[in-house]
Chain A
Amino acid sequence: MTRDSKPDLLKVEGLKAYYQMNYYGVEREVRAVDGISMNIKRGEVYGIAGESSSGKTSFIKVLAAAIRPPLKVVEGTVKYEFKNGPIEVTTASKAQVEDVRWKHLSYIMQGSMSVLNPVRRIGRTFKDFAQRPLGLTGAAFEARVVSHLARLKLPPEVLKAYPHELSGGMRQRVTIGLATVCHPEFIIADEPTTALDVVVQKEVLSLIRDIQKEMDSSVVFVTHDMSVHANIADRVGIIYAGRLVEEGPTRQMFFTPRHPYTAHLVASLPRIGDTTQRPALEGRPPNLADPPQGCRFHPRCPLAVDKCRQEVPPLETVDVDHRTACWRWQDVKPLVGSAHPAGVMA
């Protein structure tokens, strides 16, 4: 693939971000992100998967430079190499972050129903969001927005509408339009398809893909829906209990997972014609205020041995671009025997 030839746009190194709370003198620390390292190339779509409360939302909050108490970056760096210069968002000043926002780094937020101000016309919202980063005013700005909306198959009348006058699909396209109108280099998409039905979902996914290709942006795509990842991501990273447990090219992740958790995630997908019960994992994700020793997956892992209970497995490279954090990765077998795991388009 062309991936190797492209430079890294984002470098995350040893990132630890904790929720530090103090309730009437009782200290509490939730280790939502606990030592994640990863790189994302220019023009790459990187899918992040993980179940609820695995720390994926906290992780992308840090990526989006939306770090607010009680969330705190304890260790590590998050460095972007934007065209106008590098920026390390965990230490950058407010003004520096404001400088890259929307023009270089933009965000598609979860829940298109509630991300638009209900008492403001869409056109006003576009002005609020994009006028400053684009540096355009009046007719030039309007023309730019209208042509961008046309690309998203939205008529210019949308600008005069209030959010409640649009359908769910249109609203989602409007938020994608808002996030991409400035042609950002890096787009963070947090569950952009979760509340939509499959038809609109497909439309939105191909839209994000098209725009990403056209602008050669990088996209970090977060969803717990593995079939969405199968359709859109170049690479997929799996987060479990605040740690990256496996990452690799999408096809390899589905066909030859090297972490028992990934194997189970993939196996949980339904397949047409298969009526056997899916293999399920016992238990639930660990409490991040008090995570288990060693590999955090060991209490639920069918392959766990003593070593897993004591020592934290490092991320090991097992193939080109494929890394996993499992002591027994060689023993991990795909749980579904078929040559076509669900969701992957042949």
Chain B
Amino acid sequence: MHGYLLFVGKRALLMFAVIFFGISAMFLVTYLSPIDPVEQVLGRLSARSNLSPEAIASTREALTAMFGTGQPMHVQYWNFWTRLIQGDLGASLMAFPTPAMELVMRGMPWTLGLLLTSTVITFIVGNLMGGLAGYFQNNRFFKAFGIVTMGLQPIPYYIVAFIILVIFGFLWPVLPISGGFSMDVRPSWTMPFILSVLQHSLLPAFSLVLVGLGGWFIGMRALVSNIVTEDYVTYAELAGVKRETIVSGYVMRNALVPQVTALAMVIGGVFSGTIITEQVFNYPGMGSLLVDAVNAGDYSTVLAVCTVSITAVAFAIFIVDLLHPLLDPRVRTE
């Protein structure tokens, strides 16, 4: 137990290091970027109203003081961190003066909900089917399933998403194709709202699962078809151990170890993958927010989205990492 705590401590340190360097790199990129937030806001303000040159000069001064862009880099960096720790990433420029963090927090439940469920469903279904297909190699159903998922695998995600959109939105319009919930329900913890959310998330989740399945399926099937030739599986079969025990406790259980490691790597990629999903299905999550912010040159919102996704990905990988020694006794530190 002591060893496990030590392991958790080491991994946690590593996670904080990853978050620190990720966010620092992000700060550096925005610092070096030629877009000046002060000019951005000024441009926006003067486009809408007639401001006297004196008013512009004083606004510029006020904005420079607010953004702190007049200070040297290390001071800015220090201020950035102290404010970040308080959860303050400044005001959004496109929705001035709403704090950027608030916009992100509004989008986060949508993105996390969609991502978590679709990733978990993909992982479970893909591995289960792949495992069974690897064990029962002559089963027609699993063979057919493999052909379908592997056929979908090489098609670019946005094309699959559009095809789904066309099929279920226009040819056979049974599901809503846009938005996070219906216009006629108010966001609250009521049954109609929850049902509406579920209904709206079906298509984006389905598209993510469909495209993700193939990878897990192929990986797991290859792993399992190797593991079934391992001596311990042959031996258990010779001893007349129950087939369910062999499939779950001997074959799948051993194949799960590398698959969980792979899960950690997939999680790293899903946040960027969701941007396309949310665009195609007009889903109100962080991906849509990021695209809007980039288009509007709203750099504090971009920073906020990146900060949150860096933290979320590092944390998810940390959790998966902690599972690894529980799955494989050989990496447990005693």
Nearest CB of chain B from residue A282's CB, rounded to whole Å? 35
A118 adjacent to chain B (CB < 8 Å): yes
Q: What mask results when residues 227 to 255 of chain B are scored 1 for a CB within 8 Å of chain A, else 0?
A: 00011101111111110010001100110
When distances are taken between beta carbons in the complex, the residues of chain B under 8 Å from A178 are: 239
Q: Which residue of B lies closest to A120 (CB)?
A: B249
When distances are taken between beta carbons in the complex, the residues of chain B under 8 Å from A117 are: 232, 236, 249-250, 253-254
User: In the bound complex, how far is the Cα of B235 from the Cα of A107, in angstroms?
Assistant: 8
A64 adjacent to chain B (CB < 8 Å): yes
User: In the bound complex, how far is the Cα of B241 from the Cα of A132, in angstroms?
Assistant: 9
Q: Which of A92-132 contact B (CB under 8 A)?
A: 97-98, 101-102, 106-107, 109-111, 114-120, 124, 128-129, 132
Cβ–Cβ contact B328 & A109, under 8 A? no
| Dominant secondary structure at the B interface | helix
Nearest CB of chain B from residue A116's CB, rounded to whole Å? 6
* Set B240, B241, B242, B328: member contacting A119, Cβ < 8 A: B328
User: In the bound complex, how far is the Cα of B235 from the Cα of A109, in angstroms?
Assistant: 7
When distances are taken between beta carbons in the complex, the residues of chain A under 8 Å from B237 are: 66
User: In the bound complex, how far is the Cα of B237 from the Cα of A129, in angstroms?
Assistant: 10
Cβ–Cβ contact A114 & B240, under 8 A? no
Cβ–Cβ contact A129 & B236, under 8 A? yes
When distances are taken between beta carbons in the complex, the residues of chain A under 8 Å from B242 are: 128, 132
When distances are taken between beta carbons in the complex, the residues of chain B under 8 Å from A110 are: 231
Cβ–Cβ contact B254 & A106, under 8 A? no
User: In the bound complex, how far is the Cα of B233 from the Cα of A118, in angstroms?
Assistant: 11
Cβ–Cβ contact A119 & B254, under 8 A? yes
Given known contacts A111-B231, A115-B232, A118-B254, A162 and B329 CB-to-CB distance under 8 angstroms: yes
Q: What mask results when residues 312 to 334 of chain B are scored 1 for a CB within 8 Å of chain A, else 0?
A: 00000000000000011110000
Interface residue tally for chain B (C-beta within 8 Å): 22
Cβ–Cβ contact A114 & B230, under 8 A? yes
A164 adjacent to chain B (CB < 8 Å): yes
Q: Which of B197-211 contact A (CB under 8 A)?
A: none
User: In the bound complex, how far is the Cα of B230 from the Cα of A164, in angstroms?
Assistant: 16
Given known contacts A109-B235, A111-B231, A129-B236, A118 and B330 CB-to-CB distance under 8 angstroms: yes
Q: Which residue of A lies closest to B250 (CB)?
A: A117
When distances are taken between beta carbons in the complex, the residues of chain B under 8 Å from A299 are: none
* Set B232, B240, B257: member contacting A116, Cβ < 8 A: B232
When distances are taken between beta carbons in the complex, the residues of chain A under 8 Å from B238 are: 64, 66, 101, 107, 109
Q: What mask results when residues 245 to 271 of chain B are scored 1 for a CB within 8 Å of chain A, else 0?
A: 100011001100100000000000000
Cβ–Cβ contact B239 & A129, under 8 A? yes
Cβ–Cβ contact B231 & A115, under 8 A? yes
Cβ–Cβ contact B231 & A102, under 8 A? no
Q: Which residue of B lies closest to A121 (CB)?
A: B329
When distances are taken between beta carbons in the complex, the residues of chain B under 8 Å from A102 are: 239-240
When distances are taken between beta carbons in the complex, the residues of chain B under 8 Å from A97 are: 240
Given known contacts A66-B238, A102-B239, A162 and B231 CB-to-CB distance under 8 angstroms: no
When distances are taken between beta carbons in the complex, the residues of chain A under 8 Å from B235 are: 107, 109, 115
Q: Which of A17-74 contact B (CB under 8 A)?
A: 64, 66
User: In the bound complex, how far is the Cα of B254 from the Cα of A164, in angstroms?
Assistant: 14
Given known contacts A119-B254, A129-B241, A133-B240, A114 and B249 CB-to-CB distance under 8 angstroms: no
Q: Which residue of A lies closest to B246 (CB)?
A: A128
When distances are taken between beta carbons in the complex, the residues of chain A under 8 Å from B329 are: 118-119, 162, 164
* Set B230, B234, B245, B257: member contacting A128, Cβ < 8 A: B245
Q: Residues of A with Cβ closer than 8 Å to B?
A: 64, 66, 97-98, 101-102, 106-107, 109-111, 114-120, 124, 128-129, 132-133, 162, 164, 178
Beyond A118-B254, A119-B328, 18 additional contacts (C-beta under 8 Å) are: A66-B234, A98-B240, A101-B239, A107-B238, A109-B234, A109-B235, A109-B238, A114-B231, A115-B231, A117-B249, A118-B232, A118-B329, A119-B257, A124-B249, A128-B241, A132-B240, A162-B330, A164-B329
Q: Residues of B with Cβ closer than 8 Å to A?
A: 230-232, 234-242, 245, 249-250, 253-254, 257, 327-330
